[in-house]
Amino acid sequence: MAPNQPTQQDIQGLMLLMQASKFAETEKRCRKFIKRFPGVLGFYDMMSKAQIGQENFQGVVKTLEQALKINPNFVDGEYNLGVAYMNLNKAEKALSCFENVIKKRPDYFEAFNNLGGCYVELQRFDEGIEAYEKAVAIKPDFVPSLRNLGTALRDMGRAEDAEVILEKIPLLQPRFTLGHLSLGVTKAELGKNEEAIACFEKALELQADMRGAHYELGKAYKQAGDMEKAFECFDKVDNLVARVQTLESLHELGRKDEVLGRLKVLNENEPKNLRAAAFSAYISHQYSIEDNHPFCPDPLSFVSVQNVSNYLNENPKMLSDLMIAADELSTVWQHATTKGGTQTHGNLFDPSLENKRFSDLEKLIRKELRNYRDNFKGKSETLITAFPKNFSLRGWRVKLMKGGHQKPHIHSAGWVSGVLYLQVPEKMKGNEGSIAFSLHGYDYRKEREDIPYKEHTPKAGELVLFPSSLFHWTIPFDSDEERQCIAFDVIPDQSGS
């Protein structure tokens, strides 16, 4: 007769297989034991961990849902079920799991940490920070929560608070490279460049091939004016942006031949690298040579201003409703490019927001984008010939107050960028509050001053569209009225089709 309970030998055999990372064999044996002992939760737990080892998260869900039917109070099982849902990008279901876990075990700090991650994923940023804070309150030395909390605070514009949190990590885990990196990024944002450099150098001392640290160190050296060291750092990082920043560094050093040689190769190999397109357009003008980057060599001619008054006549409260809806979202004060104002955090067009005002706006924008593409039909630029058939929109509200402005920048992750103006101050002088466009940005060194330039003084209800590779910024204004707009990018899907 078969025993009613597994033997110690059975359990030890499974543990040895897990320790040897033989996950498939562990799962196979667990299935056999579950048939013999269907009420023993330990086998479900072991099998789910073996499935996690194989990154079979769908399998984890099936296993643990079955276990929770047997015992709804299987807290560790419900926690791991939440982890599986997180890996399957099902944040709502994961959130429910972690909330249930916390109700049953209020001191489960790992559950609070993951709950915070779910809230952030769902753009509920204030609740995410609160969950991370609870995890840290329960276990002050839990480094993952400290880093997550610090990062979330920094992302929300609270860099000083983030610094206080992140400075604890090197004391707790001196060899945790990501801790030094996160602290360095925060110090750089606070203008503490020398301290930031020390953090990045410490991270690289611990992990010499850490590309993120090389990249951030390059930015810090650039900020310090040491372009030679900046070039050396960027040249060690293999990504779309860093490959252009090596060229930008060489340009600052006056090494023209190297710039042109590398730029030619980069343009041939990366026709959709928008930072390369921006730099190439600038360099081509500065040296009076042909721009061989195919994306959009003459971006200023692709700036388009549309008046959506017909739509507003049918929806007279649209602009005010959008301002109200945006006010309900988390905001960041003094974003990297926004000075003297706030910017919403996350994506206005994320379906999880379930906001009809933003979904209606998305329909309008997609319609205007089709018109934009059709207006330039016949043009040979990649911007038009390879205009993505499938794309998402990423949007955010920018609110500027008196003296507010945005610094020159591009949107290198986009394709076409745009701005819908919700509210524009009436009492402005000259070109105050205008949106400006130019080939020059990021403080590029100038060989000649006659750089092409265009600006537009917007009105509420106007929609401005332009290539995402084009530098643009806002002229400061001296008015007590707010200037509000929704900015957005076309983000091609991964296939780029």
- Average pLDDT score over the chain: 95
Asked if 127 contacts 98 with a C-beta cutoff of 8 angstroms, the reply is: no
Do 143 and 16 fall within a single domain? yes
Do 125 and 182 fall within a single domain? yes
**Residue 1 falls inside a structural domain:** no
Do 38 and 176 fall within a single domain? yes
pLDDT of residue 32 exceeding 80, the answer is yes
Q: What's the domain range around 429?
A: 300-492
Q: For position 341, which CATH number holds? A: 2.60.120.620
What value does the mean pLDDT take over residues 461-470? 98
pLDDT digits 0-9 by tens, 44-91: 999 999 999 999 999 999 999 999 999 999 999 999 999 999 999 999
Do 48 and 183 fall within a single domain? yes
**Residue 378 falls inside a structural domain:** yes
Q: For position 179, which CATH number holds? A: 1.25.40.10
Instruction: In whole angstroms, give the CA distance from residue 438 to residue 450.
Output: 11
**What's the structural domain count of the chain?**
3
Q: How many other β-carbons are positioned within 10 Å of the β-carbon of residue 3? A: 9
pLDDT digits 0-9 by tens, 112-129: 999 999 999 999 999 999
**Residue 3 falls inside a structural domain:** no
The confidence band for 496, taking pLDDT boundaries of 50, 70 and 90, is: very low
Do 304 and 294 fall within a single domain? no
Asked if 337 contacts 410 with a C-beta cutoff of 8 angstroms, the reply is: no
- pTM for this one? 0.89
* Final residue before a domain boundary, out of 238, 270, 298: 298
Say what the pLDDT of residue 3 is: 58
Say what the pLDDT of residue 309 is: 81
Do 437 and 368 fall within a single domain? yes
**Residue 318 falls inside a structural domain:** yes
The confidence band for 241, taking pLDDT boundaries of 50, 70 and 90, is: very high
